[in-house]
Structure 1
Amino acid sequence: MARSNYLFTSESVSEGHPDKVADQISDAVVDLFLSKDPVARVACETLVTTQRIILAGEVRSAVPVTNEEIETAARATVKRIGYEQEGFHWQTADFACHLHEQSAHIAQGVDESGNKDEGAGDQGIMFGYATDETPDLLPATLYYSHRILERLAADRHGKVVDFLEPDAKSQVTLAFENGVPVKATALVVSTQHAVGADQRKLRDYVKGVFNDVLPQGWMPGDEHIFVNPTGLFEIGGPDGDAGLTGRKIIVDTYGGAAPHGGGAFSGKDPTKVDRSAAYISRYLAKNIVAAGLAKRVTIQLSYAIGIAEPLSLYVDTHGTGTVEESKIEAVLPELVRLTPKGIRTHLALNKPIYQPSAAYGHFGRKAEGDFFTWEKTDLVDALKQAF
């Protein structure tokens, strides 16, 4: 039986965290290729460290993309984040690109040809999750962790304060009673700051952000609020710690409140089911909760490389459902074709839409135009009619 009273914690990291810098550069490269060729294949990994940006991976595009264009996209990403530090500067960091042509053996298994449907770009398992804890149907611990750092970034970019630097992490612990979040019991923020910044001023500012972001009455006592608990945080970003694409997959998804299949999203074009099937799983889960069929749901899909149809579909409503899981499993493939091509078509994924997803979570975001289509709840009516 599921526990009803407990503490749970999630963390988030800012757009300036080294791993997130790498994720955003990788997705900038994906967007660059898709802007030239909507069916381009991209698997781009990024390493950032002191004054260095290094790219590696495999690509295929019918329209040439030059190394100069790739470098421009990478530097523009770092500039937008705000790195103009001696140890990591968008303009002066060394840049190396080691992207090369995708393996023909992968292409022959994945590409659509003759009577063969497009196959999955890899084997693997993908999970989607939704909960009614927040309006965005995201776990509350992760939702508030993201919102805290988004506020810090907005204030930094808007020059509301002058002591913040790009690198930051947050952590939120909430108390749940009868399965519902009721208050915060611990709050943590570690943020890079300007040399010589007033630590008391910094702490008071962050406490004000906590108070603004959290629901009224949720703030814990001062003894449970931790702002830069190790002391000074002047050296940060890729100069303080190397960053790699794909190392923040729990931040990207559900903050540990749901399983993760293990595959990263950023740097991958939508033929890679690590990304696209995780997106469609979230989309289906969110629509199930939005339709009132469950208060909380987990969905799993699995695929084999080169094979179009999923090998399995699993739905778990964690005892909160109003409809049998097996019946939901039978209906979902009738509403959305769960092949790689079917997913890409349904969610319109072959567009340069990915860089905005690479910071502050891929889920729980506002669907707007071409962006975050997997956050739409346009299946609600169909799901209600099905049952």
Structure 2
Amino acid sequence: MSKINTAHVFTSESVGKGHPDKLCDQISDAVLDACLDIDPHSRVACETMAGLNMVVNVGEISCNNFETIDTEKIARNTVKEIGYDCAELRFCHDSFEYLSRIHGQSPDISQGVNAGEGLYAEQGAGDQGMMFGYATNETPEMLPVPIAFSHRLLKRFEQLRRDKIIDYLQPDAKAQVSVHYDGGKPRRITSVVVSHQTGHVSLERIRKDATDVIQQELDPSGLLDDDTVYYINPTGSFILGGPFADAGLTGRKIIVDTYGGVGSHGGGAFSGKDPSKVDRSAAYFARYAAKNIVAAGLSDKCEIQVAYAIGVAKPLSINVDTYGTGRVDEQSIQGVLEDGDLFDFRPAAIIDQLQLLTPNGWNYEQTASYGHFGRERFPWEKTDKAHTLKQVFSKTKAA
């Protein structure tokens, strides 16, 4: 449980699109997008590994006309778009070795997921486990300050790299923000860490440029002060990066993908999985519900846990925790979620409500960098149920 009234410092990190693990997440989700484009009912569990001059895809995919999808081309195009497009980086889109060992989904799994094929008539959960959704009113994104600000920094650095405003920046990057909390509120930023792959440029120039960017981006928050410490490329050099310097794997940045370590995590990764996998879809829906609860003013913070059995549609449990910030009883909120009229946590209903098989104006590859939460383009970020929640609980109080 988060600390509410005690002073403490909390730190979260983000990683850039060119980080080896994030590169793998983006390839896996690009393959998922290609499958859903030709068959919205595809079953996809695509894993990617990247290392020294190599990219490997493994996993289980059942998709009509999958043979028409060129996964190697997808991998190369994704790597190029990220920015690994020249031999100087020691890892390049047109020269790495590619290997695929993708096969069909196990029939033991598919019979539990497909409606009418398993022990139950409804589409069941694609796996067992527990998923969490979280929201807080600390930031406009309804994310905790440390992870929200870490994402903001790296998105800004990427823009500067792509626009060649800082022309020596290379694709691999990390950022980390530490925030002092007191009484449950963010009071100041104690330190900022940025490690960014660069060309052969003096460390003095890198540190000056990066510090300027950090201050421009975070000054409006009012949380920077004269005592904030900046650590820029603290090893002294970051020239070798990407899969040349460090192997990457899909699903190895689950805390970056969610809430930066605030709250709980069920352990399941997102990228490369179609929405029949509740690791992904139920985590999205739990965020959707938590965000609407906070947007409705029912609490300042909210975490929702939902648990499933594989092949079973109805959740085993739904739990609500408002971390002592609730303005209504947690059990009452839980009752609304369990009722299912406003938020239906059955897998098929989640997919339908969020239109996860037919994305409109977004794709899964876009989720794979800078977090799956906090950007309005995604349907699970809408607060379209907040007004109804207000009405429900205003009637409860009146009664």
TM range (shorter): over 0.9
Partner of 1:354: 364
Cα pair 2:192 2:228 within 8 Å, conserved = no
Structure 1 vs Structure 2 CA RMSD = 1.4
Where do 1:1-387 residues align within 5 Å?
2-66=4-68, 69-86=70-87, 87-113=90-116, 116-194=121-199, 196-216=200-220, 217-221=222-226, 224-332=229-337, 333-351=340-358, 353-367=363-377, 372-387=378-393
Identity between Structure 1 and Structure 2 (%) = 50
Cα pair 2:292 2:384 within 8 Å, conserved = yes
Superposed CA deviations along residues 73-99 of structure 1, whole A, max 9, x for unmatched, are 111111110002432101111111111
Give the match's secondary structure for 1:154: helix
Gapped runs of 5+ residues in structure 1?
Answer: none
Give the match's secondary structure for 1:335: coil
How far off its partner does 1:63 sit? Answer: 2.9
- Aligned residue identity for 2:9: L
- Aligned residue identity for 1:184: I
Cα pair 2:190 2:228 within 8 Å, conserved = no
Q: 1:193 to 1:276 in 2, by over 3 A?
A: same
Question: Structure 2 CA distance, aligned partners of 1:177 and 1:259?
Answer: 21
Cα pair 1:31 1:351 within 8 Å, conserved = no
Q: 1:222 to 1:76 in 2, by over 3 A?
A: farther
- Aligned residue identity for 2:376: K
Normalised by the length of structure 2, the TM-score is: 0.93
Question: Structure 1 CA distance, aligned partners of 2:4 and 2:386?
Answer: 27
Question: Structure 1 CA distance, aligned partners of 2:242 and 2:170?
Answer: 9
- Aligned residue identity for 2:334: E
Give the match's secondary structure for 1:382: helix
How far off its partner does 1:324 sit? Answer: 0.7
Question: Structure 1 CA distance, aligned partners of 2:59 and 2:164?
Answer: 37
Question: Structure 2 CA distance, aligned partners of 1:4 and 1:276?
Answer: 34
Question: Structure 2 CA distance, aligned partners of 1:358 and 1:337?
Answer: 25
Aligned residues: 381
- Aligned residue identity for 2:368: A
Question: Structure 1 CA distance, aligned partners of 2:6 and 2:357?
Answer: 42
Cα pair 1:309 1:338 within 8 Å, conserved = yes
Gapped runs of 5+ residues in structure 2?
Answer: 394-399
Moved over 6 A (4+): none
Normalised by the length of structure 1, the TM-score is: 0.96
Cα pair 2:113 2:311 within 8 Å, conserved = yes
Give the match's secondary structure for 2:219: coil
Q: 1:20 to 1:105 in 2, by over 3 A?
A: same
How far off its partner does 1:107 sit? Answer: 0.8
- Aligned residue identity for 1:81: I
Cα pair 1:59 1:100 within 8 Å, conserved = yes
How far off its partner does 1:200 sit? Answer: 1.4
Question: Structure 2 CA distance, aligned partners of 1:218 and 1:337?
Answer: 39
The farther-off stretch of 235-244 and 201-210 is: 201-210
- Aligned residue identity for 1:180: K
Q: 1:79 to 1:237 in 2, by over 3 A?
A: same
Question: Structure 2 CA distance, aligned partners of 1:64 and 1:242?
Answer: 28
Question: Structure 2 CA distance, aligned partners of 1:232 and 1:64?
Answer: 44
Superposed CA deviations along residues 270-293 of structure 1, whole A, max 9, x for unmatched, are 000000000000000000000000
- Aligned residue identity for 1:40: S
